[in-house]
Amino acid sequence: MKLSRYAFAAALCAAAMGFTAAKAESVVHVVIEPEPPLLMQGLAQNAPTNTIAGNIYEGLLRYNQKLEPQPSLAKSWEISDDGLTYVFHLQEGVKWHDGQPFTADDVVFSLDVFLREVHPRWRPITDNQIASVEAVDPLTVRIVLKQPFGPLMTALEVASAPMIPKHIYEGTDFRTNPANNTPIGTGPYKLQEWKKGSYIHLVRNTDYWLAGHPKIDEIYWQVIPDAAARAVAFETGTIDVLPAGSVDVYDVARLSALEGACMTTGGWEMASPIAWIAVNLREGPLSDKTFRQGLMHAIDRNFGQEVVWNGLGRVPTGPIASTTRFYDPAVNIYDFDPDKARELIAQSGYKGETIRLLKLPYGEIWDRWAEAVRQNLLDVGVNVELVSSDTAGWTQKTSDWDFDMTFNFLYQLGDPAIGVSRSYVSSNIAKGNPFGNVGGYSNPAVDALFAAASAEADEAVRQAKYSEVQKILTDELPVLWLLEMEQPTIYRCDIKDLVTTAIGVNDGFRDAWRE
């Protein structure tokens, strides 16, 4: 077994790299759960797709853990002083996995045609902010904006704006193109085999434009549906990397303590997810601000952080995560205070109506959390009934506003204009999107502040506006913020430089190597 593996590696290296000296092949086994439906990142941006496809596709930019833009397919860039013109210079000698050259035409096609049509997060940016995207020459792209839009520079990572090969997709029906099953990107890894239900096998792209990268030869993303089985698989050595959320939080400490196992909470700076309970503000007791404030005092958020999440994460103060820009701690603070909660709830005139709390179907920990919150609320006399559902049911109910309260967590995506405002502005009240303003919160002042902040080039002015928004929102409580989530990635310590960017494992294998 060892021998054949070795021989295979040798053959591969010798043939592809022209190396004469045989070198031990390095293989990494990573858990992926659930199995992604598709690896074509332009069409699917769910978590598992992003985790794998970020190593197949690339965006113009990458971000370090301080969320500063770094070169990726764009080698360098210039921004005009008025903040309206962005010029990107592309890397030279970049090839698609099928050998075709990557040019500025591909960028224009991706941003202006492909993503505009299919990417729900990119579409509002092109439609509302961008005047034109054009290829100046094969290695230069110019983007002209309608008005200044600072967040553009944080919106060009691989999941938000992946580069799509024009020669494959132009003129076809994007969603049914057979090439969707054999993704072609420019990234450091190529899809070798996808054994549905079992594993996804990526092999290193020998023509990768960054010399000497990637360093790991093969990655197997293994599908293991049960969390307990995943923990055992890591412990028995079947698995090398457990991306965030793969195992029960209580297993994190135990697994990290194993010999040769390391843990990091890094790599989630771009996402910086905040978990909250979205509240349906349209009718009933929940439409009353006082009642919601009572709920906020009733929920023991520290218990959630300390016990349910076993100490991971921080209790948030408001809509903007403390780890991202424009965070302002000077807001209304809600302590765990059942007596005050009872008082506020009594004040609101609550008469014991049943309130349905929809669980998030993402595993045991969310179940426990829902149970703890329900118990908190029952303790102050709020009649809560849990509703559980599978992913489809949760999506349906949340996006159809068929809930009283629902658990959710949303990514901050580097800038409040992209990741935060979407949950609070009234223009985003639309059925069909579980990640929009599902509660129906509508406040013209908030709308105006968010709009002004996104169109403002001056950072200080933006900060002022965001601070004001945070004050208003923490008073009105359109959602009940529960936790700034911290996401532990567990891996074998001999894998180095795995988490170096703001999206961690999602594009981390470009630079990772194994001792």
Partner 1 sequence: MIAFLKRFSRNPAAVVGLVILVLVVAFAILAPLLYPNSPWKPVQRPFLAPFAQAGFPMGTDTLGRDVAAGLVHGARVSLQIGVVSTIVALLIGVPLGAIAGYSGGWVDDLLMRFTEFFQTIPSFALAIVMVAILQPQLGSIILAIGVVSWPPVARLVRGEVLSLRSREYVQAAITIGQSTPRIIFSQILPNTIAPIIVIGSLMVGTAILLESSLSFLGLGDPNLMSWGYMVGAGRTRLLDSWWISFFPGIAIFLTVLALNLAGEGLNDALNPRLSRGRK
Partner 2 sequence: MNLIMFLLGRVAKGVVVLMAIAILNFLLIHAAPGDPAQVMAGQGGAADEELLQQLRVQYGLDKPFLTQLGIYAGSYLQFDLGFSYRQQQSVLSLIMDRLPATLLLTGSAFVISLLVGTLMGMLAARRQGHWSDGAITTVSLMFYATPLFWIALMSQIIFSLKLGWLPNVGYETIGANLSGFARMLDIGRHLILPAMTLGLFFTAVYVRMMRASMLQVAGSDFVKTARAKGLSEGVILRHHIARNAILPVVTLAGLQAGQLVGGAVLTETVFAWPGIGRLMFDALTQRDYPILLGVFFISSALVIGFNILTELVYRIVDPRIGAQG
Q: Which residues contact partner 2 (rule: CB under 8 A)?
A: 1, 4-5, 8, 27, 29, 34-35, 37-38, 40, 44-46, 119-121, 175-176, 180-181, 195-199, 201, 218, 220, 222-226, 228-230, 232-233, 235-236, 238, 361, 390-393, 395-396, 399-400, 422, 430-436
- Nearest CA-CA partner of 43 in 168, 160, 167, 175: 175
- What gap in Å lies between CA 149 and CA 129, rounded to an integer? 7
Gap between the Cα atoms of 341 and 161, Å rounded: 44
Chain positions contacting partner 1, by CB under 8 A: 227-228, 231, 247-248, 250-251, 254, 303, 307-308, 359, 361, 364, 367-368, 370-372, 374-375, 378-379, 385-390, 393
Contact of residue 6 among partner 2, partner 1, none (CB under 5-8 Å per partner type) = none
Which of partner 1, partner 2, none does residue 171 bind (CB under 5 to 8 Å by kind)?
A: none
Cβ distance to partner 1 smaller for residue 71 or 361:
361
Residue 45 interacting partner from partner 1, partner 2, none (CB closer than 5 to 8 Å by kind): partner 2
Minimum distance, C-beta of residue 235 to partner 2, in the bound complex (Å): 6
Choice between 303 and 336, CB closer to partner 1 = 303
Strand 61-63, strand 69-71: pairing: antiparallel
- Least Cβ distance, residue 383 to partner 2 (angstroms): 25
- Write down the least CB distance from residue 256 to partner 1, Å: 14
Q: Which is nearer to partner 2, 194 or 208 (CB)?
A: 194
By a kind-dependent CB cut-off of 5 to 8 A, residue 422 interacts, out of partner 2, partner 1, none, with partner 2
The CB-of-386 to partner 1 minimum distance in angstroms stands at 4
- Least distance between partner 2 and beta carbon 475 (Å): 27
Q: Which does 238 bind (CB under 5 to 8 A by kind): partner 2, partner 1, none?
A: partner 2
> How crowded is the C-beta side of 393, counted as CA atoms within 13 Å?
10
The least CB distance from residue 226 to partner 2, in Å, is 5
Coil, helix or strand at residue 83:
coil
Minimum CB separation from partner 1 for residue 39, in Å? 26
Q: Are 325 and 467 in contact (CB under 8 A)?
A: no
**Both structure tokens of 374:** 């329900």
Cis? peptide before 120, omega within 30° of 0: no
- If the CB atoms of residues 97 and 119 are measured against partner 2, the closer one turns out to be 119
R_g over Cα of the chain: 24
Contact 168, 174 (CB under 8 A): no
Q: Which does 385 bind (CB under 5 to 8 A by kind): partner 2, partner 1, none?
A: partner 1
Measured CA angle at 283 (ends 452, 335), to 5 deg: 70
Residue closer to partner 2 by CB (options 183, 267) is 183
Choose from partner 2, partner 1, none: what does 371 bind? Cβ within 5-8 Å by kind. Answer: partner 1
Alpha helices (H) in 129-258, listed in sequence order: 166-169, 227-235, 249-256
CB nearer partner 2, residue 110 or residue 500: 110
d(CA 453, CA 466): 7
Looking at residue 487, its amino acid is Q
Task: Choose the contact partner of 224 out of partner 1, partner 2, none; CB within 5 to 8 A by kind.
Answer: partner 2
Q: How far is CA 23 from CA 9, 19, 266, 431, in A?
A: 8, 9, 31, 55
Amino acid, single-letter form, for residue 86: Y
CA distance 179 to 175: 10
Q: Which residues fall within 8 angstroms of residue 448, CB to CB, at 6 or more apart?
A: none
Cβ proximity to partner 2: between 63 and 88 the closer is 63
Give the nearest distance from C-beta 238 to partner 2 in angstroms.
6
CB of 195 to partner 2, least distance (A): 7
Q: How many CB atoms lie within 10 A of CB 33?
A: 22
CA distance 17 to 108: 32
